[in-house]
């Protein structure tokens, strides 16, 4: 997508054919910084410390991490070590394991001499596939927005609420939850997005709002607790969120706070959609609450907030007493019964085992 008119992806291979550049998302929206990852260690740090984040982008970064490892040492032990090192970075997003398994399955039967080239080629393919999947999700979601727009009076906006950042910054391009919104904009539909700030790391305020601004999408930033009120007053036509892992029966794990939005949506008759590419489906688990590991992140993310001071410097400030203990679960699970539909690259599935099986008969 565009940054000041120039098209970018979130990760790209450098001319040296070895290292990758990423947009370092820790500093947005205040500073746009591109950094180079040159080794599997760099890739692991970038994922763990959230220089890159968002389930699909984590997967692609890990794929390039494996490729960089193979350039150093293409033996079996190094392949397994790269898998382990990258896998332990973040536990919840299933795209990470999906990409690592995909890479290892491809590379294992090859001779070590052939592995590095094959790994770079596959990592590039996974990146391109992500772009195509998101574009397809966009077309499916656009059909829903069109239907809502058709029921509106002339000039009325379609109001969409989103949580966290499931935008292009969370993927290679387009985003999942945002792809339908960008396509609706291209088509001239009057969309407006309520952006949840998404404490503790504020991915909504920092990233989604920045994306919307860059693309001229009308939007309003709201605090996380405002969504229910907006819905009660008829100000939200639909919710679209992303997901880090969706189970075989349609339970949706996503950024902490998503569950509360789904409850408020159900209570107010607002459709609650989840946009996801198929690598985000974990066919091996059913009960999301019991079976999905929830990442517990450091307490500093809750006790401090980052922003820009009056002099323009990016600063962190403490907002809670030094002595107060902090808990920081990064994700929650929305049960399938609260989900109106799963917007996938193959169509909109009912959030159920049968619904997913109908679209992905080869997997279910
Ligand atoms: C298309 S991204 C889907 C999810 O990864 C997204 O909604 C999300 O929760 C991101 O969490 P983050 O902790 O910022 O990686």
Q: What percent of the chain has pLDDT over 70?
A: 100
Confirm whether residue 53 is marked as ligand binding.
Answer: yes
Domain 140-359 class in CATH: alpha beta
Calpha distance 109→204 (Å, rounded): 42
How many Å separate Cα 338 from the centre of its chain?
A: 20
Ligand 1 neighbourhood includes 256 CB (under 6 angstroms): no
Whether residue 224 has pLDDT greater than 70: yes
Ligand 1 neighbourhood includes 207 CB (under 6 angstroms): no
**Which one from 244, 251, 282, 332 is the annotated catalytic residue?**
244
Q: What is the mean pLDDT of residues 175-196?
A: 98
- With tokens 């609420």, the residue in question is 161
Confirm whether residue 55 is marked as ligand binding.
Answer: yes
Whether residue 364 has pLDDT greater than 80: no
Whether residue 137 has pLDDT greater than 70: yes
Q: What is the mean pLDDT of residues 204-218?
A: 97
The reported pLDDT for the residue numbered 5 is 85
| CA–CA–CA angle 253, 263, 349 (5° rounding) | 55
Q: What is the pLDDT of residues 338-352, one digit of tens each?
A: 999 999 999 999 999
Ligand 1 neighbourhood includes 171 CB (under 6 angstroms): yes
Calpha distance 135→178 (Å, rounded): 10
| Sign of the CA dihedral with 149 first, then 151, 153, and 159 last | negative
Reported as a pLDDT band with limits 50, 70 and 90, residue 198 is very high
The reported pLDDT for the residue numbered 328 is 98
Nearest atom within ligand 1 for CA of residue 177: 1
Helix (H, G, I), strand (E, B) or coil at 246: strand
Q: What is the pLDDT of residues 295-338, one digit of tens each?
A: 999 999 999 999 999 999 999 999 999 999 999 999 999 999 99
Reported as a pLDDT band with limits 50, 70 and 90, residue 200 is very high
The reported pLDDT for the residue numbered 135 is 98
Q: What is the pLDDT of residues 149-173, one digit of tens each?
A: 999 999 899 999 999 999 999 999 9
Say how many Å lie between the first and final Cα of the chain, rounded. 33
- With tokens 């198929």, the residue in question is 278
pTM value > 0.95: yes
Q: What is the pLDDT of residues 62-96, one digit of tens each?
A: 999 999 999 999 999 999 999 999 999 999 999 99
At a CB cut-off of 8 Å and minimum separation 6, what does 268 contact? 228, 231, 232, 236
| Sign of the CA dihedral with 134 first, then 255, 348, and 207 last | negative
**Does the annotation count 49 as an active-site position?**
no
Question: What is the bridge-based pairing of β-strands 341-344 and 272-275?
Answer: parallel
The reported pLDDT for the residue numbered 2 is 87
The reported pLDDT for the residue numbered 222 is 98
Rg value, the chain, Cα:
20
How far is residue 191 from each of residues 52, 185, 339, measured CA to CA in Å?
28, 7, 22
Domain positions in the chain are 2-129, 140-359
Q: What is the pLDDT of residues 2-59, one digit of tens each?
A: 898 889 999 999 999 999 999 999 999 999 999 999 999 999 999 999 999 999 999 9
Residue nearest to atom 10 of ligand 1 (CA): 54
**Contact status, residue 119 vs residue 70, Cβ threshold 8 Å:** yes
139 CA distance to ligand 1 middle (Å) = 21
| CA–CA–CA angle 108, 106, 285 (5° rounding) | 100
Reading the block at residue 269, the tokens are 């008759």
The reported pLDDT for the residue numbered 4 is 85
Calpha distance 274→262 (Å, rounded): 10
Ligand 1 neighbourhood includes 158 CB (under 6 angstroms): no
CATH 1.10.3720.10 describes domain 2-129: no
Calpha distance 364→355 (Å, rounded): 10
Confirm whether residue 54 is marked as ligand binding.
Answer: yes
Q: What is the mean pLDDT of residues 231-254?
A: 98
Reading the block at residue 248, the tokens are 């075989």
Element counts in the chain: helices (H) and strands (E): 13, 18
**Contact status, residue 327 vs residue 320, Cβ threshold 8 Å:** no
**Contact status, residue 133 vs residue 345, Cβ threshold 8 Å:** yes
166 CA distance to ligand 1 middle (Å) = 6
**Contact status, residue 206 vs residue 214, Cβ threshold 8 Å:** no
Question: What is the bridge-based pairing of β-strands 245-247 and 252-255?
Answer: antiparallel
Ligand 1 neighbourhood includes 264 CB (under 6 angstroms): no
């Amino acid at each position: 997508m565009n940054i000041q008119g120039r098209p970018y992806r979130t990760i790209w291979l450098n001319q040296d054919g070895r290292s990758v550049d990423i947009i370092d998302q820790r500093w947005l929206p205040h500073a746009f910084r591109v950094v180079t990852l040159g080794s599997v260690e760099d890739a692991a740090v970038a994922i763990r410390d959230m220089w890159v984040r968002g389930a699909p982008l984590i997967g692609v970064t890990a794929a390039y991490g494996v490729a960089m490892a193979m350039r150093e040492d293409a033996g079996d032990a190094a392949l397994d070590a790269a898998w382990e090192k990258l896998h332990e970075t973040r536990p919840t997003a299933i795209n990470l394991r999906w990409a690592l398994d995909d890479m290892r399955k491809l590379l294992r039967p090859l001779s070590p001499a052939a592995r590095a080239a094959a790994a770079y080629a596959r990592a590039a393919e996974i990146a391109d596939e992500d772009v195509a999947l998101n574009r397809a999700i966009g077309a499916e979601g656009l059909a829903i927005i069109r239907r809502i727009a058709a029921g509106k009076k002339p000039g009325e906006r379609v109001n969409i609420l989103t949580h966290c950042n499931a935008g292009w910054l969370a993927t290679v391009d387009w985003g999942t939850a945002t792809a339908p919104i960008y396509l609706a904009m291209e088509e001239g539909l009057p969309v407006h997005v309520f952006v949840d700030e998404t404490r503790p790391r504020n991915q909504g305020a920092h990233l989604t709002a920045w994306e919307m601004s860059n693309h001229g999408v009308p939007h309003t930033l709201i605090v996380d607790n405002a969504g229910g009120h907006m819905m009660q007053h008829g100000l939200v036509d639909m919710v679209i969120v992303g997901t880090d892992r969706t189970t075989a029966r349609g339970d949706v794990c996503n950024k902490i706070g998503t569950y509360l939005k789904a409850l408020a949506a159900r209570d107010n008759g607002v459709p609650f959609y989840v946009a996801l590419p198929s690598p985000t489906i974990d066919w091996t688990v059913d009960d999301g609450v019991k079976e999905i590991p929830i990442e517990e992140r450091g307490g500093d993310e809750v006790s401090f907030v980052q922003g820009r001071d009056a002099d323009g410097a990016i600063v962190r400030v403490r907002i809670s007493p030094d002595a107060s203990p902090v808990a920081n679960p990064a994700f929650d699970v929305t049960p399938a019964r609260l989900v109106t539909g799963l917007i996938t690259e193959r169509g909109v599935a009912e959030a159920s085992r049968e619904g997913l099986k109908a679209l992905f008969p080869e997997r279910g």
